[in-house]
Amino acid sequence: MNLNQHKILLMTPPFYRLFKGTYSLARFPLSLGYLAGAVKKHTLWDVMAYNADFVPKSEVIKNSYITEIGFESYLDNLKNLSTPAWKEIISTILEYKPTVLGISAMSCNFASARIVAKLAKEINKDTIVIVGGPHPSMVGSQALQCADIDISVKGEGEQTIVELLKAVEAKKELNSIKGISYRKNGQVIENAPRDFIEDLDSLCFPHEAASFVLKDYDKYPKFAFKYIFATRGCPYNCFFCGSRNIWSHKVRFRSIENIIKEMKALREKKVNSITFEDDTFGINKDYITRLCDAIITGCPGLKWSCELHVKLVDEKIVSLMKKAGCYSISIGIESGNNAILKKIRKNITIEEAMAACRIIKKQGVELCGFFMVGFPYETEASLKDTMIAMNKIDYDALVYSIFTPYPGTESFEFCKQNGLIKGDYDVSLYNHQSPANCFCMNILPERFRALLSRIERMVDRKNSPNFIRMIKRAFSLNTFRKIQELYYGSRVKK
């Protein structure tokens, strides 16, 4: 590498490590993979991808939530910058000396992202700090309220990052780059939005460059690279979800051939189990059928899992998915109360959800159920209905999360208008596993916390018999961490 070459450090900031030093996001974040691939393909910049939330030989979280596990430590570690996670970040920046630092941030780790930006500026004030990902995509130029962030990227970043790096290299103005906000002469400039990428086949496979760009690549387990997307976009309109603000309502599909090519490439790297990270796998039965037929022909014996919408579940489609190697299906049910399901625009009934779960189990496919509690309209009666549904359905794994109104979402504005969010809202305190959460109009915080403790004990009891088997089958708590990673999708996302 030329020592005078421009360098970009792409980073996922720490979150789990701040709860406990041995907790970890044991995966190669797709966002870093896609961005690193674009930089390597379209620029001459040197690039390093750094998952600062990863530790080798990390400890498995012993339940399906982290509500009260290490929350005080998490808060302390946002203030104490002498802990191993921050020291490692400082050391990495000092050693790599990036021209540009690109941080991929969700709402749950945006407080951590701000700290990373501050550390980078303290090391070298000339480092250009760019933040992208779900949180900046939701709040836009508000991300620049952090003085250490120079540029905020809204929406898909693969094309934006290439244009930004070329502009930095040529010392050009940023006014023509769509999809960004930045400062000029003390003023915040918000450029025109960027169109969504229509040809998803044009993107690099995230894992392709991993061995060249990923810090500590050889310390990651094979399953860290098992995640892929088939589509971007979600046609649904759930009240609590920010996905449509990030990917749009319009669904864009990768070609079947392109997906099979990626799956084969992963298999060559000894990755024999794949997880589709789509908000909803397949979107329609025709696409699912064609993809499954292609997997049967092109990747026989490969195992995979996905999240499927209740409306797509029937005997024929699940049978075909199993034949194609699908071993686990996650279903987002959210509530056991039909009135709540209607309010949150889930577009299902609990009866339909239970019927879908029975079909999945009948076909011999593992079932993971997602529930969410604490919606603004929640009552003790509706929570009871949700607990009944949790107990009634025969899951292999049950994941519950607490409703969280993330900035930039419809639910956030609703909570503000109804006095559930005050002016001093601190995004670092609230996520789908936070004990500080209570955004209910009908239940007081103390009572809500007591009810959640009861639900959590029940969730642990229900999960315990299948716990060891699920770990062995999935190589890690990937089904549980679909929630824990707080990726904006049905819950939050990637």
Domain segments of the chain as ranges:
7-190, 221-484
So what's the pLDDT on residue 60? 66
So what's the pLDDT on residue 487? 32
Q: How far is CA 263 from CA 209, 228, 303, 323, in A?
A: 15, 8, 10, 17
So what's the pLDDT on residue 423? 84
d(CA 175, CA 169): 15
Q: Which two tokens stand for residue 334?
A: 């959210």
> Pairing relation of β-strands 303-307 and 326-334?
parallel
Mapping DSSP to helix (H, G, I), strand (E, B) and coil, where does residue 273 land? Answer: strand
What is the 3-state composition of the chain as percent helix, strand, coil, each rounded to the nearest 5? Answer: 45, 15, 40
Residue range 354-406, pLDDT digits in tens: 999 999 999 999 999 999 999 999 999 999 999 999 999 998 998 889 999 99
- H-run or E-run covering 369: strand 366-373
So what's the pLDDT on residue 2? 53
- Residue closest to 340 by CA, chosen among 400, 403, 393: 403
- Residue closest to 97 by CA, chosen among 131, 127, 129: 127
Q: Give burial (CB, 10 Å; 0-12/13-18/19+) of 6.
A: middle
So what's the pLDDT on residue 491? 40
Alpha-helical segments (H) within 43-133? 71-77, 84-96, 110-123
So what's the pLDDT on residue 59? 78
d(CA 72, CA 441): 26
So what's the pLDDT on residue 237? 87
d(CA 57, CA 264): 27
Q: Give burial (CB, 10 Å; 0-12/13-18/19+) of 289.
A: middle
Q: Which fold has domain 7-190?
A: Rossmann fold (3.40.50)
Block residue for tokens 């770990």: 471
So what's the pLDDT on residue 64? 46
Query: How big is the chain, counted in residues?
Result: 494
Which residues in the chain land under pLDDT 50? Answer: 1, 64, 468, 471-494
So what's the pLDDT on residue 465? 64
Query: Domain 221-484 in CATH: superfamily?
Result: tm_1862 like domain (3.80.30.20)
